Amino acid sequence: MTADGDYGDNPNFLAGLELRQERYVVAVRCDFGVALGQFAPAQRVDALVAAQGKRQWRTVRWREGSQGWLRARVVALRCWRVTADGKRRIGWLLGEDASDGKRRYYWSNFGRHTPLVRMVEYAHRRHWVERFHEEAKELLGWDQYQGRLWPGFHRNSVLVMLAYSFLVWQEFEQRQRVSRRGRPRRPFSPSGRPQATVAAGDPSAHRRLAAA
């Protein structure tokens, strides 16, 4: 499970995932409370990450985009998140210095021996879902649905996802027949923009779209 800071900062949401034994990597805000020890005082994640030395940071790349590999400087700290009722849950705090100059923070309940690159890659999978939402509204009218009941919304969403998957497949098939100058664009989408959701040659792409 991956989510933005609106969900990552929601203790009830995280507690529900943990109750269901779901693994997650969620974005959190700078004032998210964590502690380095089970009985240590809680502190803000931005202060804790800022206190880490240069040797603690690693350069991690997670996938190849239209302009080369996506990478960032990342630090990972094994610590405890402090819940609203004072309880503590062990996990990973990730601090990321992205190429756009912004510092981002993530919290994950993955196990102690989980590779850092795996957690970082999961943290950035949310981009595909966000891209699908944007393009489904722009191209397929998803934002025009006026229903109020769950069955109707669910059926409409399934139809939009199927239509989107069909367009992605058609765009991929046509791209194989057309030669273009310069470096091949590997990610693609129905809109033809470089910031796309699906990577060419990725057999799991359509399964991820359906899961979105």
pLDDT top residue among 45 and 198: 45
For the chain, give every domain's residue range: 2-123, 129-211
Q: pLDDT tens digits, residue range 20-54?
A: 999 999 999 998 989 888 788 888 999 999 998 88
Decide if 106 contacts 25 (C-beta within 8 A): yes
CA quadruple 51, 55, 58, 59: dihedral sign: positive
Average pLDDT for the chain: 80
